[in-house]
Amino acid sequence: MLIGDKKNFAVEYELDPNSGGEWMYGKICYWIEGEVIGDYELGTSLRDVLFQMKYLVDDSGKRNGDDLCTQPPEKVFYLLSESIYGDSENALGEVPVSPARFEITIPVDVFDHWKIFLIDCNSCSIVLYQRIEEKEVRSAKLYLGEYDNVITKLYNDLESIYQQLGSTR
């Protein structure tokens, strides 16, 4: 199932024929500007994806980047990464409160090699992403709210599948 537009932003997922019931084994990845982000073929528990996505959906509409929108993408990426994963105390106040709300990497194995952030600006959203083994930070512009719409639809789809599988016990 594809939700969104691969040329801009989309999520693709597939439930395996032998899904393990409520485990919901399957495949998932992001598409950003036509590029697959995540290890789709590795597969994962879509139930775990569902449970981990709660925070991504809850942060919808709460990713206003304010001053981050005027800074170079690489600087913003490293500020967010350092404030979430590093030793930075944010002494200069360069990163807004609750920087984790900007992270949109679903914390499951298929995304282990990626860091992905989303910042909402005045007229668009900006995705900043990097494959951990590489130095290049990439960025893409999305329509404002596009990510939130796609991820909410995915959450609702997976929740519906989970409920259906739970009712077959």
pLDDT digits (tens, 9 = 90+) for 29-78: 999 999 999 999 999 999 999 999 999 999 999 999 988 999 999 999 99
Q: In percent, how much of the chain has pLDDT > 90? A: 82
42 or 165, which is more confident? 42
CA distance 33 to 7: 4
Question: How many residues are recorded in the chain?
Answer: 169
pTM comes to: 0.92
In 112-129, which positions are buried (b, 16+ CB within 10 angstroms) versus exposed (e)?
eebbbbbbbbeeebbbbb
Distances (CA, A) of 73 to 50, 97, 141: 29, 19, 11
- Judge contact between 127 and 139, C-beta under 8 A: yes
Q: Is 129 helix (H, G, I), strand (E, B) or coil?
A: strand
